[in-house]
Amino acid sequence: MEKQSIKEYMEMYCKMTYGKTVKHATTAEVWSALSTAIMSQIVDRWYVTNKAYKSQKMAFYISAEYLMGRALGNNLINLQEYDQVKDLLKELNINLNEVEEMEEDAALGNGGLGRLAACFMDSSATMHLPVQGYGLRYRNGLFKQCFKNGEQVEEADEWLKYGDPWSIRKEADMVYINFSDMKVKAIPYDVPIIGFGGATINTLRLWQAEPLCEFDFNLYNNQQYDKALEQKNRTEDITRVLYPNDSTEQGKLLRLRQQYFLVSASVQDMVRDFKRRHGNVFDDFAKWHAVQLNDTHPVLAIPEFIRILVDEEGESFEKALGTARKVFAYTNHTILQEALEKWDAYLMQKLFPRIYQIIEQIDAALVQELREKGYSDDRINMYHIIKEGKVHMAHMAIYVGFAINGVAKLHTEILKNTELHHWYELYPYKFQNKTNGITPRRWLVLANQELSSLITEKLGSNEWMMDLSLLKQLTKFVEDDEVLERLQSIKYTKKCQLAECIKAREGIEIDPNSLFDVQVKRLHEYKRQLLNAMYILDLYFRLKENPNLDIPKVTFIFGAKAFPGYYRAKSVIKLILAIGDLINRTPEVKDKIQVVFVTNYSVSYAERIIPAADLSKQISTAGKEASGTGNMKLMLNGAPTFGTYDGANVEIVAESGEENNFIFGLRVEDINNLRNNYNPKEYYDKSPDLKRVLDAFIDGTLDPANTGCFRDLYEALLVGKNWERPDQYYLLADFKAFKAMQDKVFECYKDRRKWAQMSLMNIANSGAFSSDRTIMQYASEIWGISPIS
């Protein structure tokens, strides 16, 4: 990129947009001007990439989430222009880091599902693969989190308040979406996804819901102002918030409307483009399109595709279904039944009756196929798409999809052998594994520039940034004291940077000389933040009894959001905050341990926390975590894994060695053996330490006002609630093993050279977890697409 042209563009933009020069612009205005200037430099390459892709088969990735993070820094890294732009701004007396801090995280995702989709987009562009993403352009994300009176409070996440220079509104590509009660416009906003090196620029197309008419003039003129805007508000609700609360029927209808809006707009877009290039004969549609459904949220794309071919293009249902079975593939991200969507049939009939009719036809076709195979009615009942008044979205995806994949080896085996075993028996050839990955550009090159520079120096080039397997060469430095000392120095630098960030954002001082024990991820019971909290509370009691307990100083860092309607998850956050307050009030303990729960955990916060982590807590109940990607990011930045034998932890340990990690607790087979005879009360009765911890939930230790706010957590572990058995995620069964392994962590951490060696071995063996590898496997083994030359 030309320095002078960027300067001139920024100057022109500031004058035209803000009526001032760059010199007098605010930092937010500089961010907008710089981002727009960079967009002006890449649009030609973006156009060329799109044109090249049209000449061959493409894959289309439909996802309800894309947790993109900030765009400016990542795009500069991928353009390999970060240092040049930093120098350019320095000439203007502008600090690039301050400009980056002005950018709001795009509120298009929440957890691992969305972050994986973002990594896949990055890797697709880097690998020159013809892949386009489809998603929704939410005006607000899930929510912005803060803590008041010791508990989570949700506020609107207004990520667009400074504008959106990283997308282009494509009014000409608008489509209409029809519901039974309303018709709305879907307006696409195209976001450039810049591949590393900048030669290839892919597209993420995000749909925004807009009304056919801004307001009813006649109602407005009659002074019925709210009524005049009612249709506009109902329409904009569709893309207002990521995952609206669906605890009521109205919430469910909005969620379902949101899903149909996404898939209808995306499928219409694909069909329209196909017709422009290939005409109205759909026999070859699968030759040019592979559509990946990221979890069950976009599965309505299947009946919508069939509807368009049947109702609008004159195809027979049988032919349209046959085409769909060559086009769609499905990624399963969980074995949790609550996340395998089952929608009430009457809701679908209410919103889009024609789609429900087509689902009935798909179900009938499945039943016919099973009867032809000799299946009995009782056996067929296991497979029904419509069953007991509900539409089973995963069943529809598996029946119609030509490929079904899990996201880690253990997860895929569980799908095949237990959770989806009957489907695996029916279609063994459909099932595949695609272990998740992460992009090293954002999670190391951008987030940890100090470590990235050391790796490039020691390997002699930056080729590892596109081939992460080259990190394996770092193993030759495992006895090199100079490298190990530099590695420790870089970790300390990142810890100091995080300490400054936490002080600025949270008003809390933490000690960078302490062990940073990190658990950052979505808040869910199976991820067991509560088990970590129970251990910390036990450590508190032990330190109170013996302030001279021989452990290193520890800072326990949490980051997580609990869904607004997930009461128990919010109680866990409240508990952790209460433990932190208890420690702070206890002089003999607070100098040894500290608990920090950061607010509004996000991609940009993760970019600070992950490089600074000494230890990566990945403690989900064995068999429940499909994969995880936070574990990979922390490994890449040198944090040993403290975790269960679950998800991708299994593969992490296989790559870097169990001796360089801390694996504890029950395994899947242990839980299977224990399940029918599990009585958590036995652990409570036999362990005075565990009893003391749990009693603190209800005896006033953590709740001095005796409000009973933690009784639900106590009873969920020991008594059970409603239909749940007690301690359904086996916290009590794993507590003793957790405690023993954490003591081993403290002992190991005292030998700083040995710890640095463990850290180096994790970095060196993280190459298998590049999303570049994952996306190339999708391309060759599922989608049948090739990189463009």
Q: 789 pLDDT exceeds 90?
A: no
597: closest CA among 619, 620, 572?
Answer: 572
For residue 700, CA distances in Å to 290, 535, 707 come to: 58, 18, 9
Residue 306 has what pLDDT?
98
Identify the three-state secondary structure at position 512: coil
What's the predicted TM-score (pTM) here? 0.96
Determine the average pLDDT of the residues in 488-511. Answer: 98
Catalytic residue among 255, 289, 521, 574: 521
CATH fold for domain 440-775: Rossmann fold (3.40.50)
Residue 338 has what pLDDT?
77
List of residues 6+ apart from 273 with CB closer than 8 A: none
DSSP string, 532-564: HHHHHHHHHHHHHH-TT-----EEEEEE----T
- Enter the tokens of residue 739: 């405690």
Residue 438 has what pLDDT?
98
Residue 230 has what pLDDT?
85
Q: Is 629 a catalytic residue?
A: yes
List of residues 6+ apart from 174 with CB closer than 8 A: 185, 186, 187, 188
Counting runs of H as helices and runs of E as strands, what totals does the chain give? 35, 21
DSSP string, 174-191: -EEEE-SS-EEEEEEEEE
Give the Cα separation of 741 and 661 in Å (integer).
10
pLDDT tens string 552-598:
999 999 999 999 989 999 999 999 999 999 999 999 999 999 999 99
Residues in a beta bridge with 241: 140
Give the Cα separation of 233 and 427 in Å (integer).
45
pLDDT tens string 631-677:
999 999 999 999 999 999 999 999 999 999 999 999 999 999 999 99
pLDDT tens string 68-110:
999 999 999 999 999 999 999 999 999 999 999 999 999 899 8
User: Within 377-480, where are the H helices?
Assistant: 377-380, 393-400, 409-414, 421-426, 440, 449-459
Determine the average pLDDT of the residues in 16-24. Answer: 96
Catalytic residue among 144, 255, 257, 333: 333
Q: Is 418 a catalytic residue?
A: no
More confident residue, 417 or 339: 417
Q: Is 148 a catalytic residue?
A: no
Catalytic residue among 395, 527, 570, 608: 527
Mean pLDDT estimate for the chain: 96
pLDDT tens string 429-441:
999 999 999 999 9
List of residues 6+ apart from 604 with CB closer than 8 A: 69, 70, 103, 105
Q: Where in the chain is the domain with CATH 3.40.50.2000?
A: 440-775
Q: What is the CA radius of gyration of the chain?
A: 27
Residue 747 has what pLDDT?
97
Catalytic residue among 49, 239, 331, 629: 629
Contact criterion met (CB below 8 Å) for 511 and 550 = no
Element (H, E) at 48: helix 27-53
- Enter the tokens of residue 479: 């006895």
Q: 389 pLDDT exceeds 90?
A: yes
- DSSP category for residue 390: E
- Enter the tokens of residue 111: 């957890």
> pLDDT confidence of 190, banded at 50, 70, 90?
very high
- DSSP category for residue 619: -
155: closest CA among 145, 168, 164?
Answer: 145
> pLDDT confidence of 245, banded at 50, 70, 90?
confident
Residue 217 has what pLDDT?
73
Determine the average pLDDT of the residues in 146-164. Answer: 94
pLDDT tens string 36-67:
999 999 999 999 999 999 999 999 999 999 99
- DSSP category for residue 489: H
Give the Cα separation of 216 and 229 in Å (integer).
7
Sheet holding 554-559, edge to edge: 593-598, 554-559, 515-520, 615-618, 641-643, 662-663
Which segment of 245-254, 352-361, 419-428 scores lowest on mean pLDDT?
245-254
Give the Cα separation of 631 and 641 in Å (integer).
7
Residue with tokens 């962590």: 745
For residue 221, CA distances in Å to 158, 211, 226, 231, 364 come to: 31, 19, 12, 16, 52
Give the Cα separation of 723 and 515 in Å (integer).
40
Catalytic residue among 257, 528, 633, 773: 633
pLDDT tens string 293-351:
999 999 999 999 999 999 999 999 999 999 999 999 999 999 888 778 999 999 999 99
Give the Cα separation of 647 and 651 in Å (integer).
8
Q: Is 472 a catalytic residue?
A: no
CA angle 687, 688, 691 (to 5 degrees): 90
Catalytic residue among 522, 592, 617, 624: 522
Give the Cα separation of 439 and 459 in Å (integer).
19
